[in-house]
Structure 1
Amino acid sequence: MSEHADLPYRPCAGVMLLNARGEVFVGQRLDSVVEAWQMPQGGIDPGEAPLEAAIRELGEEAGIAPEHVQLVAEAPDELYYDLPEDLIGRIWKGKWRGQRQRWFLFRFLGTDEDVNIRTAEPEFRAWRWVEPSQLPELIVPFKRDLYRQLLDIFGEPLRAHGGPVR
């Protein structure tokens, strides 16, 4: 049992953004020292709906305007991950043991020129489109199971909107 088991999970929204080729947007975090790529995600503000948070995070992290996305699917349940013990207390001011996330699958209606990671408070140093099946190997190890779950949850709409998932 973790010594941090009494800490709550941080409420968060995540976005799987799918382009017309069936590829998913990932960014490389500015604050990461490892070669890890992730999908946009961020905290849900008090009183904010998860969908609103997801759209806001897309703007804040990728510079993508709401008119350039279309909601395809929403994960029916929250997904959880725990931080590794050595990170608890070092991030989020030690208030959280991990995250509970609401995930949304969006179709990207824009072009690559509509992506701008040089936002007011940048979070990514680079971005690219990847095959959905690559997601678990690109993310930090403690989020791999969550990304595998997302591929299962969004498997049907991913196949319908962009081709094979695995």
Structure 2
Amino acid sequence: MNDLPYRPCAGFMLVNSDRRVFVGQRIDPRTHGFWQMPQGGIDPGEEVRDAALRELAEETGIAEALVEVIAKTPAPLHYDLPPDLLGVAWKGKYRGQEQHWFLGRFLGSDADIDLEAHDPPEFNAYRWVDPLALPDLIVPFKRDVYRALVDEFLDLI
């Protein structure tokens, strides 16, 4: 496992006017029942910020014009896949992810959210949650990343 690289990834913590964070319920049967913030791989040559906003738009239908980017994590956060997903996820190419995270304010309304904006969709439902609840909603192997994000961004929310 230590010989495999981390998959480059960008994520977005989107906060509404009530200071609650967007989470989507994963459709993926391996992680169904868990909730996560929009995130995904960075394409070759793509800027990290552009990737985060692209992933946000793909997974939520929210246009960049409806988002005010506030902050970025000073360094990427990492997680390793659990043994049962190692060699399975991402065709076995990666040991986990190196994630660059952004915080932004949502300037729109729930009417601007479209979980089917991308084919196939990633989420089958969404909700707005207290930021302190985030680590309890994500799959266990990503909890340390979500704890670090809450620590980093809480004062800005």
RMSD: 0.8
Match of 2:90 in 1: 92
- Deviation sequence 1:63-93 (CA, Å, 0-9, x none): 1101010001110000000000110111100
- Describe the superposition over 1:85-119 as per-residue Cα deviations: whole angstroms up to 9, x where unpaired: 11011110000000000000010000000000012
Quick one: which of 35, 40, 43 aligns to 2:33? 35
Q: Does the 8 Å CA contact 2:23/2:126 hold for their aligned counterparts?
A: yes
Q: What runs of 5+ residues in structure 2 fail to find an aligned partner?
A: none
AA aligned opposite 2:92: G
1:79 maps to a residue whose letter is L
| Equivalent residue letter for 1:40 | P
How big is the shift at 1:155? 2.1
39-48 or 25-34, larger mean C-alpha shift: 25-34
The amino acid across from 1:97 in the alignment is R
Tell me which of 4, 12, 17 is aligned to 2:14. 17
Specify every segment of 5 or more residues in structure 1 that has no aligned partner in the other structure, as ranges.
Answer: 159-166
Alpha-carbon deviations, 1:127-148, whole Å to 9, x = none?
1100101100000000111100
| Alignment coverage as a number of residue pairs | 155
Q: 3-state DSSP class of the match of 2:104? A: strand
Query: What SS does the aligned partner of 2:2 have?
Result: coil
TM-score by length of 2: 0.96
What is the TM-score with the length of structure 1 in the denominator? Answer: 0.91
Distance 1:102 1:86 in 2: 25
Residue matched to 2:153? 154
Q: What residue is the counterpart of 1:144 in the other structure?
A: 143
* Off by >4 Å, runs of 4+ in structure 1: none
Q: Is the 8 A contact 2:131 2:150 kept in 1?
A: yes
AA aligned opposite 2:8: P
Identity in percent: 59
SS at match of 1:53: helix
Per-residue deviation, residues 31-78 of structure 1 (Å, max 9, x unmatched) = 134420000000000000100000100111011101010001110000
Contact 2:131 2:154 in 1 (8 A): no
Q: Which amino acid aligns with 2:53?
A: I
